[in-house]
Structure 1
Amino acid sequence: MVDCSGDYGNNGCSGGLMDYAFQYIIDNGGIDGDDDYAYQGVDAECWSNATSRVVATIDSFADVASGDEEQLSIAILQQPVSVAIEALDASFQSYSSGVYDDASCGDNLDHGVLVVGLTDDAYIVKNSWGETWGDAGYIQMKRGMNICGIGIQPSYPVSKKGDPVPVPDPTPGPQPGPQPNECGCSADSVQMCGAFGMMCCCGANGDTTCMATDTCCCR
């Protein structure tokens, strides 16, 4: 998705919209699976051989009314829902457990995540920064306060019921992966920084930090 939906208005690791991604999947006749064409957290040329290895299809997509958390909750009870949030807030990035309810997290939407369920007071959200982030890769976000702009731009794919798509044989040929990371940047760190169009860099004390790609001295 990161590599191949640029013609639809998306910008790889620099961001995009879920609806653009859904339209790409529709026009492509489906999408390959993560086991075959895994998310790497870096921009790369579209691997065209894999794009035709379809493991899932959708027929259309739907948008939830912006700002209507009641409708968002109804949609989540039917299927997972893609949402855009502000994720640059330090308290969000350092989340580890419990219900996240920091009202200072704004609505400057810069990151896409997946709401997979509900509790009485929180959305259960799956992030894309690996299992070492948050609560095994997930975060619970407070309902009813449009936290981090979660209710502004929700959408979800729609597919007709029917037999599952047959899974084809693996795509031949090696898939290029990211370059080895120096300076202590883990794969999760590279992935998180890449989500903001940044690079994982060495900090002054040997730690790591996210920096713009034109200012990072090493990676």
Structure 2
Amino acid sequence: MGGFHTFPVERADALEDPSRYRYCSREELVSMLGLDDRDDSTVADLGSGTGFYTDDVAPFTDTCYAVDVQSEMHETYREKGLPENVECVTAGIDSLPFPDDHLDGAFSTMTYHEFSDPAIRSFEGTTDSFHDEALAELARVIRPGGRLVTVDWSADGQGEDGPSVDERFSISDVRRGLESAGFEVIRDDDRPETLAIVAICPE
């Protein structure tokens, strides 16, 4: 079961607002993905929208998939202009059309709350007994040792931008969700309004 909702297509222009870099810059994203010195990787942008961050990451990859459940977002992205190495994929994160271990990495910017299972917020068991379909699918398609980068609105933020606080996850929620799917969290930063987590796919 996924999160609350997807971003409204009629507000797609807002996804091109340069002020988004206040919360995550191109440099930070590329660095967290470990793409600084390689250009032969295959990476997916999870919940790509109009391709705002896809455009930033694509030059550092061989192939960058723009994954979004809304085909209308891809249409908007195509009208804007697709980089040559970007392929649009219309799919939910819990049912990705990739073979096992196909991706070297994947990232989501402000979309984790849209696809992850909100039940983790109230889950009191061990992470071994929690199953998030979207995160399990990411563990399947990212190669062993590949990176999953998550930047999202934090439940500990003020809620002045982005979704309401009750739709967000805390950094501990995200960490527990990732660990339940077998990921190893190697970095977690809780910032004033957002969180950033880098996780390694299980070997």
TM-score normalised by structure 1 residue count = 0.23
Give the greater-gyration-radius structure (CA): 1
More strand by share: 2
Q: Which has the higher helix share?
A: 2
With the length of structure 2 as denominator, give the TM-score of the two structures: 0.24
